[in-house]
C-alpha cells in the first residue's frame, strides 16, 4: 500500500491549533493506516490505497466535520517529495535549514507574477518556481520577508509552505525513520 505525506494548510503557529492526537484519530477513522504526525503544524504520514485526489477530498471533509473549520489538504507521494528535495536549487540551505521554504502548490500556477516577486524580494533572498513547488531562500529570516508573506497571492494558487528541515524530516518519517 502506498505511503503518502499530508500537509494541512493554515495549521499551527498563530493560525489554528489542531491537537495531533485528535487528527490521528480522525484520519484513522477514515481508514488511513499507519498515521504518524510531525510537529504541531498539520504534517502527517500515512498509508492508503486511494488516489491523492480522493484522499484530499476525504481529509478536507473530515477536518471540517470533526473540527469545524476548512483546511486545504496537500497530499504528496514519497516520490514527489523526493523529487522536490532532489531539485533544491539552494544547497546552501543545508547549513541553515530554516532559511529555505518549499511552497507546495495545489496546481501549477497559470500566470505567476514573477516580476512583482523579484521587485518585492530582499537583496539576500532568492526563489525558483519549478512546476508545483516554489523554492524560497530567505537567509535573513522567513518571518520578516515581504515576499514570504505575499508569495501565495503572487503565485495565484493555493499553497502551503514547509521549511527545509521539516521537508527532510517528513521524508525520513515516510520512509520509516
Residue 124 has a CB neighbour count (10 Å cut-off) of 12
Rounded to the nearest 10 degrees, how much is the dihedral formed by the CA atoms of 129, 135, 139, 141?
110
Distance, in Å, from the CA atom of 46 to the CA atom of 1, rounded to the nearest integer, reads 10
Tell me, what's the pLDDT at 4? 98
Q: Residue 101: CB partners within 8 Å, gap ≥ 6?
A: 135, 136, 138, 142, 148, 161, 162, 163, 164
Regions of the chain where pLDDT drops below 70: 12-15, 177
Neighbouring residues of 61: CB distance < 8 A, sequence distance ≥ 6: none
How does pLDDT run across 108-120, given as a tens digit for each residue? 999 999 999 999 9
At 177 the pLDDT is 63
Q: Which residue has the cell 504534517?
A: 43
Query: CB-based contacts of 169: which residues, under 8 Å, 6+ apart?
Result: 38
Quote the Cα angle for 72-8-156, to 5°. 50
pLDDT of the residue at 19:
87
State residue 13's pLDDT score.
Answer: 65
- Residue 138 CA, distance from chain mean position: 17
Amino acid at each position: 500500500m502506498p505511503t503518502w505525506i499530508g500537509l494541512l494548510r493554515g495549521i499551527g503557529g498563530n493560525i489554528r491549533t489542531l491537537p495531533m492526537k485528535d487528527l490521528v484519530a480522525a484520519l484513522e477513522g477514515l481508514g488511513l493506516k499507519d498515521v504518524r504526525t510531525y510537529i504541531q503544524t498539520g504534517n502527517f504520514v500515512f498509508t492508503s490505497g486511494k488516489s491523492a485526489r480522493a484522499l484530499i477530498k476525504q481529509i478536507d471533509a473530515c477536518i471540517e466535520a470533526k473540527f469545524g473549520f476548512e483546511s486545504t489538504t496537500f497530499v504528496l507521494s514519497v516520490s514527489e517529495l523526493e523529487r522536490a528535495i532532489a531539485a533544491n536549487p539552494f544547497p546552501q540551505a543545508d547549513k541553515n535549514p530554516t532559511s529555505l521554504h518549499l511552497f507546495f502548490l495545489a496546481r501549477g500556477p497559470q500566470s505567476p507574477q514573477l516580476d512583482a516577486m523579484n521587485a518585492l524580494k530582499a537583496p539576500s533572498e532568492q526563489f525558483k518556481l519549478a512546476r508545483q513547488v516554489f523554492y524560497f531562500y530567505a537567509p535573513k529570516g522567513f518571518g520578516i520577508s515581504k515576499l514570504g508573506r505575499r508569495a501565495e497571492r503572487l503565485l495565484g494558487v493555493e499553497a502551503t509552505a514547509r521549511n527545509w528541515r521539516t521537508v527532510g524530516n517528513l521524508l525520513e518519517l515516510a520512509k520509516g525513520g
